[in-house]
Amino acid sequence: MQMGDAFPQGFQYLPGYFSEKDQRELVGLLREFVAEAPLFTPVMPRTGKEFSVRMTNLGDLGWVSDLKGYRYQAQHPVSGRNWPAIPEVLINLWQKVGHCAAPPEACLVNYYAATAKMGMHQDRDEKTFDAPVVSVSLGDAAIFKLGGVKRGGPTKSLRLQSGDVVVLGGDARLCYHGIDRIQGGSSSLLKDGGRLNLTLRRVSPI
């Protein structure tokens, strides 16, 4: 579904894109990947303040944040091993909804416990903004906020549920966005509760 005038052009909200069966299969794959590339807690540059989310990555490149800054790199920052490959089901998603001929190079996996959140931010550490960011929600519902291309402007809220997909492309690619709160207990998909968010990204120029 296109959001029309309610949201910036290039923003797509695809509720229930993944069936319950597909969600369970995807979580099963993610468990295998996390065993290979464990979740870690990133910290803010300069201050060293810990994020409230834990994260890992899939793909040729992975996004990390530490005292040195934000960047993409080919190895897990703790194990030093290459990230696991992005599974075919997510490559297929990118091809169907991303409208980008070049494949994704990174899939950031964020795990939100019930108290976690993500402040308003832009995804701008990539070398191209011509490709979209494709986001998958699994587990507990979250209140997603979307603003404009300037910090501090008005925002719109959207409740993202397990299986939903969001695409930030076109005029929406550099819009500020964040997660205001997690609605704990709203899904039984994840054994220990919480939310997994997968964001597919293209890092290199197309």
49-95 tens-digit pLDDT: 999 999 999 999 999 999 999 999 999 999 999 999 999 999 999 99
Dihedral class, residue 26 (left if φ above 0, else alpha if ψ from -120 to 50, else beta): alpha
Q: Is the pTM here over 0.85, yes or no?
A: yes
What's the confidence (pLDDT) of residue 100? 94
Q: Is residue 188 part of a domain?
A: yes
Per-residue model confidence (pLDDT) at position 4: 45
Please report whether residue 169 resides in a domain.
Answer: yes
Q: In this structure, is residue 154 part of a structural domain?
A: yes
pLDDT tens digits, one per residue of 139-192: 999 999 999 999 999 999 999 999 999 999 999 999 999 999 999 999 999 999
Q: Strand 11-14's sheet: what is its strand order?
A: 11-14, 165-168, 133-139, 195-201, 106-112, 54-59
CA distance 148 to 122: 10
Domain that holds residue 42: 4-201
Q: For the chain, how many structural domains are there in total? A: 1
CATH label of the domain that carries residue 127: 2.60.120.590
Is 206 a domain residue? no
How far apart are alpha carbons 10 and 173 in whole angstroms? 7
